[in-house]
A and B are shown apart, each in its own frame.
Chain A
């Protein structure tokens, strides 16, 4: 055994992770893995809480996608209480979901991962970030900051609280939208839509072509995919059924409460984060790069792969172009970033569509609920993937059991495989530098992992640390984010 590299912590992603890479005597990669090093215990401390408080507790699993947890929890509450929200209640939830997606995708593309493309993967670290982007391109920097912030402002007007929201309640939405507010938010949504169009064409013209060889090779693996679609196969991030697609493109659709028949979570001794896999494929779990078993991916690329079509025109046109170029299912990992911009466009279009819906300002946004003993499963598509909340209550509506599977967790095995693929192809004969190690991190960043979400059950830290050990196991060098 040669030496072990530990990259810690991985930076420009949410939470903490560490990557360990084992090299043989010749300096070639034997194994590489991403370890998550935290555990928070939400499933445990949910027990005993009033179920209607869960939409206000589970938000703190993630401050970047709090709306996803908030809405999945509210939908689980609907199921537990056995109610259907009035149309305006559902539409306001869906509106907030789409606005939150625009904010989140702008954040990831421009503030986190985008610097690798805008500034280049080998740029010096003090400028390989959003501040560097803003200094080199002040006009774009200003636009980026403004449009991400518009998302926050819109959510503030619609719901009162942007991060860790409170307005999605069992049975609907607690705050109706006033006409004056609708007009204000619509103007902002239209501006974000313009920005989404700009981002798509800017990236297609200036960023992706430059790195197409990297896109087609870095962290590429062959897997299945999972995401949410409507009954007719249309892309949807708020509600629908779950579609699980095999690497060959064949797929099965199932209702939320059937998830235990399709997904199982494996535990490995070196990571607090679990490893979900497609149990219904009957082939078990294996992260072998050449012959993976049971491995599927979630998040942007997965959703675009599983859906038959988009519900909005501009995003549909982009999907068609994307499929023509990369096929279905597209497997290249860095295409997650491309898919993210198509989703940004869709959610901006969708927000404008909902704000033009006359029903959105209805005063009927909520129905009252009565506690009972029941079990409910509620799902949404979080930016990072299918989010599953599963609560059981006693007759007073207090939680007796809670199970959560979150977006990033689904991608734990694929991220590990991409890290291994990237490390194996980039580090050869003991040659590596900061740029190469950053490229390994880029393979992780493509998944936009939210390690706080993923360690909801433990405590939120994925550190990527890189340790180099000599043949006796002594650490001779190390780096961390």
Chain B
């Protein structure tokens, strides 16, 4: 029996729903797992069930495996991450936010003051107000990935991740084996046809019209990037594709005839996807400078670790 504790920090809840999306195999795993703390499903409280504990100490029961989703945005979440690390032998960062900051880390492009001002002073539907501050945990200066706050043992990235990867990681842990995703890119798992050069006359376009595709044959569907639609497959870690009943595995956004936006983060942890992507584009004959809103687009899911920082003021600000 493996004891599991789960916590969510600066989250949307999608990673927790992904755990449920394991579906019926989850019922097979459950007898081997004992959840000792998981606020989304269970009423275990931080300071004892009737509140006699020390209010300054967050109590997480001892667990073999700890799972944290979400990045770290405020003081309280920092303390929860620290308590989880203390109580859990192995700590898993689940999802893009916990691993790399995720979409909420796009907030790292602005100062806190600008954020407050947009929300409480400039919103058209809102009565102009001071930032609420009464008995509320202060926000940190920016959004942090979990490993910027406490050491992490296992990373399961993705926005959200793939349910099959959660099963693989838990099964590996149950068997005492290591878990790590192979260093492959989304392109390595993509069935579209590549010629390693831009299609004739193609320039980088925004996805304002459909890509060309053959709905019955991926072999007859040209790589979206080569068609000129910005696709971050070349610099994004593979792992999102779920196996269909017919055995095919297609990266999930590609399956919807939409380009990859990099939610699994870089292929190698130390890579900077923006830099790698600019190289990948020029190698097939595109000019990366044609991309609108380049920095925010290419770093959309990896804004922690100082990859996104406040930009120079916009005109008129």
Contacts and interface: CB of A to CB of B under 8 A. Distances in A.
Given A8-B46, A167-B256, A269 B13 contact: no
A11 B38 CA distance: 9
Nearest to A166: B258
Contact of B139 (A20, A39, A403): A39
A164 interface: yes
B206 A52 contact: yes
A369 B210 CA distance: 10
A2 interface: no
Contact of A44 (B45, B50, B118, B300): B118
A53 B73 CA distance: 24
B279 to A, nearest CB: 23
B206 A50 contact: yes
B301 to A, nearest CB: 9
Contacts of A141: 27
A175 B215 CA distance: 9
A170 B138 CA distance: 38
B39 A9 contact: yes
Nearest to A466: B51
B208 interface: yes
A135 to B, nearest CB: 9
B14 interface: yes
B252 interface: yes
Contacts of A62: 12-14
Contacts of B159: 60, 164
Interface stretch (A199-207, A241-249, A260-268, A292-300): A260-268
Contacts of A460: 10-12, 70, 73, 104
B27 to A, nearest CB: 6
A426 interface: no
Interface string B122-155: 0111110110111111010000000000000000
Nearest to B241: A160
Contacts of A371: 206, 208
Interface in B33-60: 35, 39-53, 55, 58
B204 to A, nearest CB: 12
Given A174-B210, A267-B126, A41 B118 contact: yes
A263 B125 contact: yes
Contact of B293 (A63, A266, A398): A398
A272 B132 contact: yes
Contact of B74 (A38, A260, A465): A38
Interface residues of A, number: 115
B139 A274 contact: no
Contact of B292 (A165, A176, A398): A398
Contact of A170 (B12, B44, B208): B208
Interface string A171-192: 0001110100000000000000
A63 B15 contact: yes
Contact of A63 (B77, B134, B160): B160
B250 to A, nearest CB: 8
B139 A43 contact: no
Interface in A431-468: 433-434, 437-438, 441, 450, 452, 457-461, 463, 465-468
B107 interface: yes
A327 B32 CA distance: 48
A270 B136 contact: yes
Interface string A57-81: 1001111101000000000000000
A478 B50 CA distance: 7
Interface stretch (B16-24, B85-93, B269-277): B16-24
A64 to B, nearest CB: 5
Contact of B127 (A266, A269, A457): A266
B305 interface: no
A259 interface: yes
Contacts of B208: 52, 170, 368-371
A480 to B, nearest CB: 4
A430 interface: no
B110 A45 contact: yes
A45 B104 CA distance: 9
B30 interface: yes
B114 interface: yes
Interface in A1-26: 5, 8-9, 11-12, 14-16, 20
Q: Which residue of B12, B46, B119, B124 has the most chain A CB atoms within 10 A of its CB atom?
A: B12
B102 interface: yes
A443 B102 CA distance: 32
Interface in A365-419: 366, 368-371, 390, 396-398, 401, 403, 405
A47 interface: yes
Contact of A162 (B15, B21, B127): B21
B249 to A, nearest CB: 12
Given A45-B110, A63-B12, A161-B256, A434 B119 contact: no
Interface of B: 8-18, 20-21, 23-24, 26-27, 30, 35, 39-53, 55, 58, 70, 73-74, 76-77, 102-104, 106-107, 109-110, 114-116, 118-120, 123-127, 129-130, 132-137, 139, 159-160, 206-210, 215, 242, 250, 252-258, 261, 263, 292-293, 296-297, 300, 314
Interface of A: 5, 8-9, 11-12, 14-16, 20, 35, 37-41, 43-45, 47-50, 52-53, 56-57, 60-64, 66, 107, 111-112, 125-126, 128-131, 134, 141-142, 145-146, 148-149, 152-153, 156, 159-167, 169-170, 174-176, 178, 259-260, 263-272, 274, 276, 366, 368-371, 390, 396-398, 401, 403, 405, 433-434, 437-438, 441, 450, 452, 457-461, 463, 465-468, 475, 477-481
Q: Closest 10 CB pairs between A and B?
A: A63-B14, A479-B51, A160-B255, A160-B256, A267-B129, A480-B46, A478-B55, A368-B209, A149-B23, A60-B103
8 contacts: A64-B17, A149-B23, A264-B126, A398-B293, A459-B104, A463-B76, A478-B47, A481-B44
